[in-house]
Amino acid sequence: MSGYVTLTGTNFEAEVLESSVPVLIDFWASWCGPCKMIAPFIDQLADEYTGRIKVGKVNVDEEQDLANRHGIASIPSLVVYQGGNIVSQKTGAVPKQEIEKLFKSFI
């Protein structure tokens, strides 16, 4: 698979809040059709921006606490963190260019 990290309640602080690069988080679920539609885009961006951003994935079924902390009501939801803070977010299946716009100005 691609160069992303699976985020959990256990590693969230170290992987996201303490990250030295922006972190794109994909909140998804295995049963979500739109999540499957954007998954290849997320994987491509993880590869294209290796070292400049970190990509994390949160399975909302397995990590309900993380999803609740972020107020995730619909998936896919994309959240970008920089310096331990949320700097942009978008919900729904969007083209690769729209996903890239979420973090590009922060690298």
> Given this model, what pLDDT does residue 3 score?
80
Q: At what angle do helices 33-48 and 96-104 cross, to 10 degrees?
A: 50
Active-site hit among 7, 23, 24, 32? 32
Active-site hit among 24, 25, 35, 72? 35
Query: For the chain (length 107 residues), average pLDDT per consecutive 10?
Result: 85 97 98 97 95 97 96 97 97 97 96
> Given this model, what pLDDT does residue 102 score?
97
> Given this model, what pLDDT does residue 48 score?
95
> Given this model, what pLDDT does residue 2 score?
58
> Given this model, what pLDDT does residue 16 score?
98
| Annotation says 32 is catalytic | yes
* CA atoms of 96 and 101, how far apart (whole Å): 9
**CATH of 4-104 given 3.40.30.10, 3.10.310.30, 3.90.550.10, 1.10.150.20:** 3.40.30.10
* Domain spans in the chain, listed from the N-terminal domain onward: 4-104
* CA atoms of 102 and 100, how far apart (whole Å): 5
